[in-house]
Structure 1
């Protein structure tokens, strides 16, 4: 994860510097906000990857002299198919439509989104990795 963490750290630094320069020269709020969001998103991914690297240690991909066979075997847990992501997406779409159409559709969207997100997050709670 070290190479990926450095990649997203560099991306976050790029967006941070670009945001500062853009704000200084333009004072335009919409573009500055978009660049700030890009900085925050890249920073979140970088922080996650650094955490995973510290937690799991170096992988064979992180070492220059690693052999291909070192990367064999079990790599991680991948859950089976699930309908929860589609349910969460439908709830999100209903919330988006509710912003345009009315509060009643937003409330229905939250009612659909909540079980989708909770089911997606906790469907493999009992799995031991």
Structure 2
């Protein structure tokens, strides 16, 4: 995680000065003068989180400069190849965007469908009390 933390923390060194330069050159244009330094703050928060996370977990093969490809072999996580729940969430998102164009009343079924899709996706592999 050290390389990810460095990547985001170096973003601070780019976005903050660029935002200040932009503010000076644009004569204080409000959106960019505020927005670009805020992006620097956002990448700083993400980089800080990755730096804290890097201290808590063991070093990965990606963190070793002399690491070999075969050191990263094995399972990388659990992924569901046949899940329909992302489709339900995407449908809810598309209905929510349609609500902004066609009518705000569509936001209610979009929110309900989105909650159902997210709960189904979260508990897809649950066993025991929450199995379905």
Gap runs ≥5 in structure 2? 128-132
Q: Map of 1:1-129 to 2, 5 A cutoff?
A: 1-26=1-26, 27-32=28-33, 34-35=35-36, 38-39=39-40, 42-43=43-44, 45-124=46-125
Cα RMSD of the aligned pairs, angstroms, is: 2.8
**1:72 CA drift (Å):** 2.5
- CA gap of 1:87–1:5, structure 2 versus 1, over 3 A, is same
For residues 125 and 49 of structure 2, the distance between their equivalents in structure 1, rounded to whole angstroms, comes to 20
**1:21 CA drift (Å):** 3.1
For residues 94 and 110 of structure 1, the distance between their equivalents in structure 2, rounded to whole angstroms, comes to 9
Gap runs ≥5 in structure 1? none
Larger CA Rg, structure 1 vs 2:
2
For residues 30 and 37 of structure 1, the distance between their equivalents in structure 2, rounded to whole angstroms, comes to 10
**1:29 CA drift (Å):** 2.9
Q: C-alpha deviations, 1:25-82, integer Å up to 9, x for none? A: 4322333465356445534543453344233221122112234433223333334432
For residues 118 and 111 of structure 1, the distance between their equivalents in structure 2, rounded to whole angstroms, comes to 11
Q: What TM-score results when the alignment is normalised by the length of structure 1?
A: 0.71
Q: What TM-score results when the alignment is normalised by the length of structure 2?
A: 0.70
Question: Does the CA-based 8 Å contact 2:61-2:72 persist in structure 1?
Answer: yes
